[in-house]
Chain A
């Protein structure tokens, strides 16, 4: 039963990890921009959800989706344009890093460094001796539904096809009449909206501080590397990391989560730079 519990916990967290990584991956894939502010984007969702939770659990996520939609749009239109980022590959990194630090300091001002979480207690379901806390379960379900929707959008719609084409080769995509600039904007907004959902879902499981953003950026990026920079890879890698997480959570104190994630990140890079699913990437 203990093993089953660890695996169930891991799977639940894994869904969330995949969702966090998916937003980052879509932006990275299409724009070739590693959004270092992704963790702070998640926190917008988290803080808004926590703030409005007692009013209505869905109000916070709804607002944060709209906020991040606008933020993503503005960023893509005015800061991460080809004209600005074109000259040097380091520019987008510096810009998103700057945004990350800016937001972190805004959170510090507004919410202090204290952890915030949802204080409402949740009941637990007990199935054959394995506990399913309702909070985690709903987080898992929301994550899975969002991931299925994204997977469907990417694989079964014209927009998804355009996004995937622009990921593979922007030049060829524009050659066959795909408006790459628009696809880029849509992808960035999509990534930001996914961040909002992931951030809201996260609050069902964790309490957050302004520094949580960097931790989740690391986790999301580890998932991407583990998944070999591909959509199916990320889905699988999230669960792998989730299970690994619940295993080490048994033996190590919480403070070392970051260190373990980073160790996994390094090991993957050394042993399998192409990620777990290897050639499926490209």
Chain B
């Protein structure tokens, strides 16, 4: 582990420790609620980011794994009386296992097949859950038999978020992480370098689903009610918007953006309750076109003043493109 990684992990841990006593000092108010919500989005966005920003595989089914996590937690807490923290682990494990089953066929074909396959998976899962009477059908399930405690949620949420982000930082600085980035840059080259492309992609998808499932579990703990909406496309859009606008392929971008996003959502829900997804979709297109690196481009240009260096491969591709245009 090199120095920068140690420093990053230390900073993350320090932020976590600093925020931990917040409910005790400040009481349970708007700020705690805001943070609980933002941290859920943070975990979900980082999970999306891990797969899309780093491994370069775009999944349109984040909501499916988020929703499965939420349902799993509710079921294990209410039906099987498992305590919250083991339930949360189960809520992460179930989507991870499912994602491997989905990934194995989908990764056999091109990337677009994976994108549309995960989209289809989420659609189907939502329908199945919607018509499953044992899962409450359209009205969903509520957590019963457990006392609601927002401070506990806050602690669980904060600790999972910090642990997940630290895990992502460590993973990215391992051989596995470098492998993922090389797959993103050029799959064929990665393959020829001896990187087990399929294995790494499946593993990245499983980890991403694990994180998404935990986000869903924390969400269920916070809201105390789950319905099939959680598997709907809105949550996928949310994850995408935070990740892409914040800056895919960076850990900090989505983290900062999740705070902005929750603030924005609180504002939008008050003023324009119906059109929020519409606005996010438009924002997504605008950012992808004009700021492909998201808000992190602004950070790079203004604070560290380093322009984005195109990789060797990218340079070559750009060069080729120029020739083609003549």
Contact = CB atoms under 8 A, between A and B. Distances in A.
A79 B117 CA distance: 24
B116 A36 contact: yes
B112 interface: yes
Interface string B38-59: 0000000000000010001010
A172 interface: no
Contacts of A91: 288, 292
B240 interface: yes
A87 B115 contact: no
B127 interface: yes
Most chain A beta-carbon contacts within 10 A, residue among B111, B131, B281, B282: B281
Given A90-B52, A94-B240, A270-B105, A99 B285 contact: yes
Interface in B94-121: 105-106, 108-109, 111-113, 115-117, 119-121
Contact of B105 (A94, A171, A259, A269): A269
18 contacts: A34-B112, A98-B285, A101-B237, A101-B280, A102-B282, A105-B275, A108-B274, A171-B324, A174-B324, A180-B324, A214-B123, A218-B120, A225-B109, A258-B123, A258-B127, A259-B127, A269-B109, A270-B108
Interface string A246-259: 00000000011011
Interface of A: 28, 34, 36, 79, 82-84, 86-91, 93-95, 97-99, 101-102, 105-106, 108-109, 171, 174, 180, 214-215, 217-218, 221, 225, 255-256, 258-259, 261-262, 265-266, 269-270, 273
A105 B237 CA distance: 12
Contacts of B109: 225, 269, 273
Interface residues of B, number: 44
B305 interface: no
List the 8 closest pairs (A to B, CB-CB), nearest first.
A105-B278, A101-B281, A34-B112, A98-B285, A102-B281, A98-B284, A90-B58, A262-B120
A105 B282 CA distance: 11
Interface stretch (B75-83, B146-154, B314-322): B314-322
Interface of B: 52, 56, 58, 60, 105-106, 108-109, 111-113, 115-117, 119-121, 123-124, 127-128, 131, 233, 237, 240, 244, 274-275, 277-278, 280-282, 284-285, 288-289, 292, 314, 317-318, 321, 324-325
A99 B105 CA distance: 28
A94 B124 contact: no
A154 B325 CA distance: 25
Given A93-B58, A171-B324, A261-B120, 19 more contacts: A34-B112, A36-B115, A79-B285, A82-B321, A88-B56, A91-B288, A93-B112, A95-B288, A98-B282, A98-B284, A98-B288, A99-B281, A99-B285, A102-B278, A105-B277, A218-B119, A258-B123, A262-B121, A270-B105
Contacts of B233: 101, 214
Contact of B120 (A105, A265, A270): A265
Contact of B56 (A89, A102, A109, A221): A89
Most chain B beta-carbon contacts within 10 A, residue among A86, A87, A97, A180: A97
B244 A225 contact: no
Contacts of A109: 274-275, 278
Contacts of A87: 292, 314
A215 B277 CA distance: 19
Contact of A225 (B60, B113, B275): B113
Contact of A266 (B105, B112, B325): B105
A113 to B, nearest CB: 12
A101 B280 CA distance: 9
A86 B58 contact: no
B59 to A, nearest CB: 10
Contacts of B280: 101
Contacts of A94: 58, 240, 244, 284-285, 288
